Amino acid sequence: MQTIAFIGLGHMGLPMARNLLKAGFNLKVFDLVQASVDELAKEGAQAASSAADAALGADSVVTMLPASRHVEGLYLGDSGLLSALKPGTLVLECSTIAPESARKVHKAAAERGIELLDAPVSGGTAGAAAGTLTFMIGGEAAVLDKARPVFEAMGKNIFHAGPDGAGQVAKVCNNQVLAVQMIATAEAMALGVANGLDPAVLAEIMRQSSGGNWTLEKYNPWPGVMENAPASKGYSGGFMAELMAKDLGLAQEAAQVTASSTPMGALALQLYRLLLKQGKGQKDFSVVQQLFVE
Amino acid sequence: MQTIAFIGLGHMGLPMARNLLKAGFNLKVFDLVQASVDELAKEGAQAASSAADAALGADSVVTMLPASRHVEGLYLGDSGLLSALKPGTLVLECSTIAPESARKVHKAAAERGIELLDAPVSGGTAGAAAGTLTFMIGGEAAVLDKARPVFEAMGKNIFHAGPDGAGQVAKVCNNQVLAVQMIATAEAMALGVANGLDPAVLAEIMRQSSGGNWTLEKYNPWPGVMENAPASKGYSGGFMAELMAKDLGLAQEAAQVTASSTPMGALALQLYRLLLKQGKGQKDFSVVQQLFVE
Amino acid sequence: MQTIAFIGLGHMGLPMARNLLKAGFNLKVFDLVQASVDELAKEGAQAASSAADAALGADSVVTMLPASRHVEGLYLGDSGLLSALKPGTLVLECSTIAPESARKVHKAAAERGIELLDAPVSGGTAGAAAGTLTFMIGGEAAVLDKARPVFEAMGKNIFHAGPDGAGQVAKVCNNQVLAVQMIATAEAMALGVANGLDPAVLAEIMRQSSGGNWTLEKYNPWPGVMENAPASKGYSGGFMAELMAKDLGLAQEAAQVTASSTPMGALALQLYRLLLKQGKGQKDFSVVQQLFVE
Amino acid sequence: MQTIAFIGLGHMGLPMARNLLKAGFNLKVFDLVQASVDELAKEGAQAASSAADAALGADSVVTMLPASRHVEGLYLGDSGLLSALKPGTLVLECSTIAPESARKVHKAAAERGIELLDAPVSGGTAGAAAGTLTFMIGGEAAVLDKARPVFEAMGKNIFHAGPDGAGQVAKVCNNQVLAVQMIATAEAMALGVANGLDPAVLAEIMRQSSGGNWTLEKYNPWPGVMENAPASKGYSGGFMAELMAKDLGLAQEAAQVTASSTPMGALALQLYRLLLKQGKGQKDFSVVQQLFVE
C-alpha cells in the first residue's frame, strides 16, 4: 500500500486528504495548524511533526499551499523539501501558484531526480469534499500515468495540460475566463432587470442562447434565480472573491512574462479589487453582482 | 390559409421568408433590392411593389430591417405602415433595434389596435437558413400564442422575454455577454498559447471546466481548434464584427436610459471598434482573436 | 441698449443671468421655478410669464437648460420658440447637449433666418458666479463676433471651436479627458499612498512632471492635499459626479455616431455609474477617489 | 575632486555620464557594449573592464540599467557589487525597476553600511542630453543632500519622494498617469476630428481648459499639431511604447503588492500591449493615436 505525505490541510487540503484516506492510502499529514493535523489523525492518518517528517519514506507527496512563496519556501533551497526526498518520489504540487514559480520548482525537482507535477484544481471546497475536483496538470504524461490513482481519489476530471507549468497556465486561463463571464453575466442581469425583465426569465433565455456559460448554468449571481447558488444564500460559501482576485493576479503575472494583452482579464482584476476595498473579499465571487445594483 | 407580408429580404430576411414559404404560408414580399424580391417570387411568393402593397390584406406582417431608424421610418408617421394596416393585423417586428425604439412602435401600434411583438433573433444566417433561429419576444403572451405558428416555421427556441420591448432587451443582454465571453476566450487562448499550451488542449480543458461558455462549445476563435468554426475558415461566414459592434451599441443605449454600469460590455464595444478601424468589420466576430496575436 | 431673453435659471443660469444684468443689459427672464424669476426681478430683470414672452422683442436669446430633450422641446416644432422669434435674432444656446441635437436645432434656426450658436460652458458654478466661464462655441465666426459682448459679460475664455455643433463636440472631448485624468490621478494617489508615499509629496511630484494635469493643478482628489478643493470639504461643491456621468454619456453618443473607439472614456463612464449606484451622484466628481480607498 | 563610477551606458546612461564629465567629475565607466565605453573614454572618462573595476576606489556609484533583474544581478549576492564597495560609498541607482526590487537592494546596502538612493528619472533621452532630467528619489534626506551635486549635474528637478523605494513608486505613479492621459488625449483628438473639428483648434481648447495636461502642453499625439512632437516626425524619437509598457507593468507589480485597484492604468497597459503586437513597440508612445484612426 502506497504511503502519501499530505502537506497543507486548509479549506481545500483537508477534504482532499480525507478522500485519500477513504481510498485506502496510508497518509502522513502535516500543517502549521495542529488542530487540522489532529482531526485527520483521529480519522486514521499519521500525524507528522514537520513537512520533512511527513515526507520521510513516503512514496508520494501532495502539497496544497496558499501561494507561490509558500511553495518555493517549502521545496527550494539547501534545506528545502526537495533535498530531503529520495529520488523517485512522486510529487503532486496542487497549489495554485504562478506558472514561473511552478517551472522553478519543476527544474529543481528534475535536478534531484524527483518526478513532479503541477496540478492545480478547480471545483472549490464542495468539489474537494465530494471528490469531484478538476485537476489541470503540467509535467510529463508518463509521470501523470503513475500519479493517476492518487488524483482519481480526489477528483473527477484529470486533464493533462502540457509540459512543466502548463497546469498552472491552464488554471489561470480558465479562471480568468470564469471571472470575466461572471462579471459579464452580472452586468447583463442588472441591465435587463433595470429595463423591466424578470431575472429568472432573462437568465433562462441567455443560458439557452449564445450568451450561455458556466455561471448561467450553475451559479447565477442574481439572488433567487438559483436556489442553491451562493447568490441565494447571501453570497456565502463557494469561491471567495479574494481568491478570485488572487487567481486573476496570477494571470496578470503570466501575461507580464509573455507581454500578452488581456483587457477583459485585467479589468476583471481591478473590479474584484474594488470589491475587496468594500470589505467583500470573503464573500463568494458572484458578489460582484452587488457592484451593479443599488 | 394565412397570408403574411414579409418586408426586408436581406441576409437574414431572405432565408426566413423562404422558410415561411416552405411551411405553406401565402407570402407577399417586398425589399428595396428587386433581385431579392424576384428570387422569392420564383419560389412562389407574390412580389409586392411597396411595403404598403405587401401589407394590403395580409393577416400578419413580418419585418426584418437593419436598424431603429428604418423600423421607425417604416411604421410611424402619418403615412407609416401602421396607418395602413387593418385593426387586428398581427405584426412580428424581428429587427434588432433599440428597446426605446421598439417601445415607441409598440405604443403607436396599440393606439391603432394593431397587435405587435418585438421579436429579434439570434442564430445568424446559418440558423435563418436552417429554420433554427432563437426568437426573444416582447409583448403580450396572448399575442405570442397567436403568432407562434409563424415563429415556429422560422425558429426553434421561442422565448417570451416579457412586456413591450423586452425582446430587444433580452437580445442586447445576450449579445453583450456573448461578445464579452468571445473576447475573454480569445484573450485566454492567446495567453495560454504564448505560455506554451496546445490550443486544442487548452480549449478542451476550459470547455469542460468553469470557464465553459458557448464560444468554447461551438465557436472557438483560435484557427484550427474547431474545423467548422469561422476561425478555421479565415474568419469568414458567421456573424460579422460590425453587427456585433451594432448590438453592443444598442446595449449601451439601453444602459444609458437606466444609468446601468456595464464595464465589460462597454470595453467590448471599444475593442470591436478598434477592429472596425483595422478594416475587419465584415469578418466574423471571432476575428477579435487577431487583436491578441502578432 | 440690447435686450436679452434669458431662459433657464438653474445653478448655472442664475449667476450667468446676473452677470448680464451687472454688465448693463436689459434682461427678460423665465424659468419654470418662479422663485428664481422673482429673485432676478428684484435685481432689475423683467419677469416673463413664458419662454415666448421673454423672447418677445428681444435682440438676443440665451438658454441654459438641463438636457437635449429640453432644448429640442423648447426650440423645435410648430409651436417652438424658433417659430416665434423674429428673423435676425441672435440665439446663444449654452446648454450641454448631444452634438446631434445641437445640429438639429442649428438647422431649424437657419431655415427661419435665425442666427444660432451652440455654446456650452465649463467652469462650474464658481466660474458662473465669477464671470470666468469658458465658452466653447460652434457656428459661424461672424455670428460669434456679434455675440462676443454677451459672452464676455459671462466668461473669460471664448473659443470658436468650429461649425455648427462643434462647441458641443469640444465640450464632450474636454470633459472626457477631464474625467479620465481625474480617475487616473485618484488611482495613482491611492497606489502611491498604499506604497508608503506622502500624498502631498506625490501630488507635487506628479504636478511638476509629465503626469501633470488640470486635476493635479487645481483640484486634487485626495483630501487635505489642496485646502480649497472639494476633496478637502467632504467632496461638496464643485461639479457633481452625476453631471460628469451625463457628459460622459454625451461623449459616448457622439462616439456612437462616428464609430469612434474611446476605451478610456467608456471606462470612465462605467466607473462614474458605479459611484451613482453608491448614492454619490451629488458629490463633487473627485469623489471617485473613494472607489480606490477602503 | 570626486570620482564617480558610472555603470550602464545605454540611450539614457551615455548622455547622463557625459554631463557628469562636463561638470568636472572624475569618471570611471563600464558597459557590456565596449563601443560606448570607448566613446566616453575619448571624451575623458577612464575605461573600466568590469563593474567592480569601475567601482574600485570610487566615492560614488551611478547605475542606469534596463530592469529589476539586472540591478539585482549587479548588486546582490556574495559576489555582488555591494560586497565590493567600501563602507561610506554613495550609490545612486537610477534605473526604473520594481519598488520591491529597489527595497531589496536598499536593505542589502544598509547591511553593508553603504548609502543608497533609488533615483529613477523622467525626461527621456532629450532630457538626459540636455541635463534637464527629473529625479524622483527614495532614501534618506541626509543622503540625498550629499548626492545633490551629482544629481544636479544631470537634472533639473530633484524630488525627494520619501523612504527607500519611494522614488520608484513616484515614478510608476507618474508614468501611469502619463500613459492614461496620453491615451485619453488621443481618443479625444480622434473623436473630435471624426466629428468635424480641426485638430489644432481642439487641442488648443482642451489645453487651456480643464482637460489640460502635459501631453496637450508638450507632446500632442496628433500629427502636425505640434511641429516638434514625435507625432509630427512619424512617431520617432521620444519615449518608446515598449518602455511605457514596461513602466505600466511595474505599476501593476506595485499594485499587486498592495491590492490597489487601478482600472485606467491596467487598461493602458493592455492597450500598449496591443500596439506591441502590431510591431509598434519602438515608436514613440504617442503612437497610441494610431489605434484610434483608420
Which bin fits B5, alpha (ψ -120 to 50), beta or left (φ > 0)? Answer: beta
Joined grid coordinates for residue B250 = 444598442
**Nearest Cα to Cα of residue A203 among A176, A179, A175, A231:** A231
Contacts of B245 in chain C (CB under 8 A): 259
Q: What is the separation of C-alpha D271 from the centre of its chain, rounded to a whole number of angstroms?
A: 21
**Nearest Cα to Cα of residue D189 among D293, D280, D274:** D293
A266 touches chain D (CB under 8 A): yes
Q: Which one of B269, B276, B277 has the shortest CB-CB distance to C266?
A: B269
Contacts of A101 in chain D (CB under 8 A): none
What is the average pLDDT score of chain C? Answer: 96
Q: Which one of A245, A252, A271 has the shortest CB-CB distance to D252?
A: A252
State the angle between helix axes of C241-258 and B241-258 in degrees (0 to 180), rounded to the nearest 10.
Answer: 150
Q: Looking at the predicted structure, is the pLDDT value of residue A1 above 90? A: no
Band of the pLDDT at C34, cuts 50, 70, 90?
very high
Task: Give the SS3 label for residue C118.
Answer: strand
CB-CB under 8 Å, C274 with A274: yes
Band of the pLDDT at C1, cuts 50, 70, 90?
confident
Per-residue pLDDT tens over the stretch C204-252 = 999 999 999 999 999 999 999 999 999 999 999 889 999 999 999 999 9
Task: Give the SS3 label for residue B7.
Answer: strand
- Mean per-residue pLDDT, C278-284: 96
Nearest chain A alpha carbon to C275:
A291
End-to-end CA distance of chain A: 58
Annotated active-site residue in C104, C171, C280, C283 = C171
Joined grid coordinates for residue A26 = 496510508
CB-CB under 8 Å, C214 with D212: yes
Q: Looking at the predicted structure, is the pLDDT value of residue A262 above 80? A: yes
B274 touches chain D (CB under 8 A): yes
pLDDT of residue D124: 87
Q: Are strands C121-122 and C133-138 parallel, antiparallel or unpaired?
A: antiparallel
CB-CB under 8 Å, A256 with D273: no
CA distance A26 to chain B (A): 30
CB-CB under 8 Å, A279 with C293: no
Q: Where are the beta strands (DSSP E) in chain A?
A: 3-7, 26-30, 46-47, 60-63, 90-93, 115-118, 121-122, 133-138, 155-162
B vs D: CB pairs below 8 A: 17
Q: Which one of D277, D279, D292 has the shortest CB-CB distance to B277?
A: D292
**Is the complex ipTM higher than 0.90?**
yes
Q: How far is CA D53 from CA D13, D34, D65, in A?
A: 18, 14, 17
Nearest chain C alpha carbon to A263:
C263
Q: Which one of D157, D169, D189 has the shortest CB-CB distance to C192?
A: D169
Q: Which one of A256, A267, A277 has the shortest CB-CB distance to D263?
A: A267
Phi, psi (rounded to 5 degrees) for A161:
-80, -25
Contacts of A194 in chain B (CB under 8 A): 258, 260
CB-CB under 8 Å, A261 with D266: no
CA distance C182 to chain B (A): 18
B194 touches chain A (CB under 8 A): yes
CA distance A87 to chain C (A): 44
pLDDT of residue A76: 96
Nearest chain C alpha carbon to A273:
C292
CB-CB under 8 Å, C252 with B256: yes
Rounded Cα distance, D134 and D122, in Å: 5
pLDDT of residue C124: 87
Unique residue bearing C-alpha cell 421673454: C54
- Mean per-residue pLDDT, A89-97: 97
Whether C94 contacts C119, CB under 8 Å: yes
The Cβ of residue B157 has, within 10 Å, a number of other Cβ atoms equal to 17
Q: Which one of B261, B267, B276 has the shortest CB-CB distance to C259?
A: B276
Joined grid coordinates for residue B31 = 425589399
D291 touches chain A (CB under 8 A): no
> b vs e for D173-209, b when ≥16 Cβ sit within 10 Å of the residue's Cβ?
bbbbbbbbbbbbbbbbbbbbbbbbbebebbbbbbbeb
C200 touches chain D (CB under 8 A): no
Task: Give the SS3 label for residue D287.
Answer: helix
**Nearest Cα to Cα of residue C133 among C244, C239, C285, C272:** C239
Q: Any idea how long chain B is?
A: 294
Q: Looking at the predicted structure, is the pLDDT value of residue A255 above 90? A: yes
Annotated active-site residue in D171, D246, D280, D283 = D171
A266 touches chain C (CB under 8 A): no
What residues of B act catalytically? Answer: 171
3-state helix/strand/coil string of C152-216: HHHEEEEEEEECCCHHHHHHHHHHHHHHHHHHHHHHHHHHHHHCCCCHHHHHHHHHHCCCCEHHH
Which residues are CB-contacts of D197 (< 8 A; sequence separation ≥ 6)?
Answer: C161, C162, C166, C169, C170, C173
A274 touches chain C (CB under 8 A): yes
Rounded Cα distance, A252 and A245, in Å: 11
End-to-end CA distance of chain B: 58
pLDDT of residue D75: 97
A145 touches chain B (CB under 8 A): no
Phi, psi (rounded to 5 degrees) for C8:
105, 90
CA distance B135 to chain D (A): 36
Q: What is the separation of C-alpha A225 from the centre of its chain, rounded to a whole number of angstroms?
A: 26
Q: Looking at the predicted structure, is the pLDDT value of residue A237 above 90? A: no
B33 touches chain A (CB under 8 A): no
B260 touches chain C (CB under 8 A): yes
Rounded Cα distance, A137 and A134, in Å: 10
CB-CB under 8 Å, A292 with C277: yes
D195 touches chain C (CB under 8 A): yes
User: What is the enclosing helix (H) or strand (E) of A192?
Assistant: helix A166-194
Q: Are strands A133-138 and A121-122 parallel, antiparallel or unpaired?
A: antiparallel
Digit-by-digit pLDDT tens for chain B (294 residues) are 799 999 999 999 999 999 999 999 999 999 999 999 999 999 999 999 999 999 999 999 999 999 999 999 999 988 899 999 999 999 999 999 999 999 999 999 999 999 999 999 998 888 999 999 999 999 999 999 999 999 999 999 999 999 999 999 999 999 999 999 999 999 999 999 999 999 999 999 999 999 999 999 999 999 999 999 999 999 998 899 999 999 999 999 999 999 999 999 999 999 999 999 999 999 999 999 999 998
Q: Which chains touch B (3 or more CB pairs under 8 A)?
A: A, C, D
- Mean per-residue pLDDT, A219-248: 95
For residue C255, the one-letter residue type is A
R_g over Cα of chain A: 20
- Mean per-residue pLDDT, D189-199: 97
Band of the pLDDT at C294, cuts 50, 70, 90?
confident
Which residues 237-256 in chain C show a CB within 8 A of chain D? 251, 254-255
Q: What domains can you pick out in chain C, each with its CATH number?
A: 3-163 (3.40.50.720), 169-292 (1.10.1040.10)
Q: Which one of A263, A274, A292 has the shortest CB-CB distance to C291?
A: A274
